[in-house]
Structure formats: structure tokens, C-alpha cells
């Protein structure tokens, strides 16, 4: 299958995107929830080894197929890992029929103007050039309050990176997350939508992107973004909501599908038998798929 088929799957496929891109900052927390204590690894190498085992267990699970999971976001180190003797991105697409994406941001700057911008991404062109078999990227910023100047800066930075990704032949997932605990969440979302629309209108034909957004307070707020000719898909992040909460809220937004990380892995444990693990993961996948349909 070709990237044309990957593109069709991302534009129209029924299902959701699994976010398997836990990085250095989020890995210890993800491992703790999975039942791996920090005392069980003594270096970054061992820590990343543990999270890779968790990712491989998820990817190899019977329910983790394109029937419900249409894409998966990977951490950069994961591109060098293998599953059953194949590079992870190749395995996802050729065996599971799942479109691979790559997280490219290097974390967040300190908060200023109510937002956290992305840190610089050194060597981005080289990273994109060697991302064999990867359809697109994902890059995250965070908005903490309804500060118009801060939100405009976040969106402008996101679109600058998005243009570079598009120029490399890939599709960027632009992710300006709004903190679910923000006291001005609804106002921030209105400002964010207006800024995204402004930037979308400046893209040329063929400069197509995806959007990954916090589930909005006002149901269907982002329908206009989903209908924009430059947008392949609008996906939702779980943002700290429980799986059930995230699915309930997502179900109210007809033009968003899920791209959940923590909500996907909720209730999974290293200590579970394969049957228990697969049942728990399968239950999460079903819930998230239904909410995305």
C-alpha cells in the first residue's frame, strides 16, 4: 500500500489514532501507571527498554488492528526499535495496516503569556529525511489561559513547523493543547479556533495538515476546522481525563476522532497475563472506537 492509501485512511478511515509517543519526560509516569516502579530501572536506556516492551505488547495485541486503530504516533527512539524483526513503523503499516506518525517536538518552554511554546527542534530536516515509512509528525504546545498574544504565538510557531514538515513530504499533526484545568478554557478555545482558521487560510493548496486539540467545552466547536479544505482530520487528545470521561466528551463532537495516550493504556499492567492485558486493552480500544465513530 502507498502513502495515497495512508492518506485516504487518515482522511476517511473509521477509528482513532493511538498515541504511543511517551518521551523522556512522560515515560516514568506512564511506566508507574503500568506497574513498573522507578527502582526497576537504573538508566535512561533501561527505562526506554521498559516502555518499548509496553509499546510492543500493545502493538502485538490482537485488537490493535486497523479495524479500530487507523494510526499510531511513535517516539523518535521507537523508529530504531524492532517488532518481530521489522522496524516498528514498517511493522505497523505492513502487518497491522496502521499509519505511523512521529513525535518531533523536544518538549516545552517555561510558561509565558499563559502558554508554553515548543522548545527549538534542532536537526529537524535530518530527522524528517530519515523517518522512513512514516506518514506524518506530531508536535505539541500547551495553552494554560485565554491570553490572545500567547495563543497567537503558539499557533504561529506550530504552523511554521508544519510548513517545514509539509515541505518534506509528510503530514503534520498540529497540537496546541488547551489545559483541561484552565479557568478560562472556553475563552481560550474560542481564541484558538480563530487563530487556527487565520493560519489555515494562509496555507497553499496541497499544504494539508491535521489538528490535535483538547475536547472543547462547547460541543462541535471545531467542526469548521474539520471542514476546512487544508485539514485532513481533527483528532482529540485525552488531556488527563479518564478513559470514560474522554470518551463521553468526545462522543458529543461528531467531527473529531480520538488520539489518546493515557486513556488508551488505562488499567494496563506489566503484571497482567497476556489474556488479562489483551482484555483490558481491547476494552479501551472498543470504548475509544465507539466514541470516535
Taking the C-alpha atoms of residue 133 and residue 289, their distance in angstroms, rounded to an integer, is 25
Strand partners, 139: 174
Report residue 173 CA to chain centroid gap: 8
Please state the rounded mean pLDDT for residues 1-18.
90
Share of the chain above pLDDT 70, in %: 99
Q: Which of 68, 96, 138, 212 is catalytic?
A: 212
pTM (2 d.p.): 0.95
Beta pairing class for 115-116 and 86-87: unpaired
Residue 121, all three cell numbers: 527542534
pLDDT at 1 over 70: no
Taking the C-alpha atoms of residue 231 and residue 219, their distance in angstroms, rounded to an integer, is 19
Identify the pLDDT of residue 186. 98
Active site residue 212: yes
Sign of CA dihedral 114, 110, 162, 64: negative
C-alpha angle with apex 54: 50 to 57, nearest 5 degrees? 135
Give the CB-side neighbour count of residue 230, counting CA atoms within 13 A.
Answer: 22
Sequence-distant (≥ 6) Cβ neighbours of residue 57 within 8 angstroms: 277
Sequence-distant (≥ 6) Cβ neighbours of residue 147 within 8 angstroms: 113, 114, 115, 188
53 pLDDT tier (thresholds 50, 70, 90): very high
Taking the C-alpha atoms of residue 156 and residue 16, their distance in angstroms, rounded to an integer, is 27
Please state the rounded mean pLDDT for residues 113-134.
96
pLDDT at 27 over 90: no
Identify the pLDDT of residue 26. 80
Identify the pLDDT of residue 262. 87
Residue 90, all three cell numbers: 514498517
More confident residue, 132 or 122: 122
Active site residue 198: no
Residue 68 buriedness (CB in 10 A; 0-12 / 13-18 / 19+):
buried
Q: Which of 50, 139, 175, 177 is catalytic?
A: 175
Q: What is the 3-state secondary structure (H, E, C) of the chain?
A: CCHHHHHHHHHHCCCEEEEECCCCCCHHHHHHHCCCCHHHCCCHHHHHHHHHHHHHHHHHCCCCCCCCEEEEEECHHHHHCEECCEEHHHHHHHHHCCEEEEECCCCECCCECCEECECCCCCHHHHHHCCCCCCEEEEEEEECCCCHHHHHHHHHHHHHHHHHHHHCCCEEEEEEEECCCCCCHHHHHHHHHHHHHHHHCCCCCCCCEEEEEECCCCCCCCHHHHCCCCEEEEEEECCCCCHHHHHHHHCCCCCEEECCCHHHHCCCCCCCCHHHHHHHHHHHHHHHHHHHC
Strand partners, 212: 235
23 pLDDT tier (thresholds 50, 70, 90): confident
Model confidence pLDDT, tens digit, residues 202-227:
999 999 999 999 999 999 999 999 99
Closest listed residue to residue 62, CA positions, set 19, 95, 101: 95
Please state the rounded mean pLDDT for residues 72-86.
93
pLDDT at 5 over 90: yes
pLDDT at 22 over 90: no
Sequence-distant (≥ 6) Cβ neighbours of residue 50 within 8 angstroms: 31, 36, 40, 41
Among 203-207, 239-243, 256-260, the least confident range: 239-243
2 pLDDT tier (thresholds 50, 70, 90): low
Residue 11, all three cell numbers: 482522511
Identify the pLDDT of residue 29. 87
Model confidence pLDDT, tens digit, residues 158-174:
999 999 999 999 999 99
Amino acid at each position: 500500500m502507498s502513502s495515497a492509501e495512508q492518506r485516504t485512511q487518515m482522511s476517511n478511515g473509521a477509528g482513532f489514532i493511538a498515541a504511543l509517543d511517551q518521551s523522556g519526560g512522560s515515560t516514568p509516569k506512564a511506566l508507574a501507571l503500568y506497574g513498573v516502579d522507578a527502582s526497576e530501572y537504573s538508566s535512561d536506556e533501561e527505562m526506554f527498554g521498559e516502555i518499548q516492551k509496553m509499546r510492543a505488547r500493545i502493538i502485538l495485541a490482537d485488537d490493535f488492528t486497523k479495524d479500530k486503530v487507523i494510526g499510531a504516533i511513535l517516539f523518535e527512539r521507537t523508529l530504531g526499535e524492532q517488532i518481530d524483526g521489522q522496524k516498528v513503523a514498517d511493522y505497523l503499516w505492513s502487518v497491522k495496516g496502521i499509519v505511523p506518525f512521529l513525535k518531533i517536538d523536544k518538549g516545552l518552554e517555561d510558561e509565558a503569556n499563559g502558554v508554553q511554546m515548543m522548545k527549538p527542534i534542532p536537526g529537524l530536516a535530518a530527522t524528517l529525511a530519515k523517518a522512513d515509512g512514516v506518514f506524518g509528525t506530531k508536535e505539541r504546545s500547551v495553552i494554560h489561559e485565554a491570553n490572545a498574544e500567547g495563543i497567537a504565538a503558539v499557533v504561529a510557531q506550530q504552523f511554521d513547523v508544519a510548513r517545514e514538515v509539509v515541505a518534506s513530504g509528510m503530514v503534520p499533526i498540529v497540537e496546541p493543547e488547551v489545559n483541561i484545568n484552565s479557568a478560562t478554557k472556553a475563552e481560550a478555545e474560542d481564541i484558538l479556533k480563530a487563530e487556527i482558521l487565520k493560519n489555515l487560510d494562509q496555507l497553499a493548496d496541497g499544504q494539508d495538515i491535521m489538528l490535535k486539540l483538547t475536547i472543547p467545552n462547547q460541543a462541535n466547536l471545531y467542526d469548521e476546522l474539520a471542514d476546512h479544505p487544508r485539514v485532513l482530520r481533527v483528532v482529540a487528545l485525552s488531556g488527563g481525563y479518564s478513559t470514560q470521561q474522554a470518551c463521553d466528551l468526545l462522543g458529543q463532537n461528531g467531527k473529531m476522532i480520538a488520539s489518546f495516550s493515557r486513556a488508551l493504556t488505562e488499567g494496563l499492567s506489566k503484571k497482567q497475563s497476556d489474556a488479562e492485558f489483551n482484555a483490558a486493552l481491547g476494552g479501551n480500544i472498543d470504548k475509544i472506537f465507539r466514541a470516535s465513530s
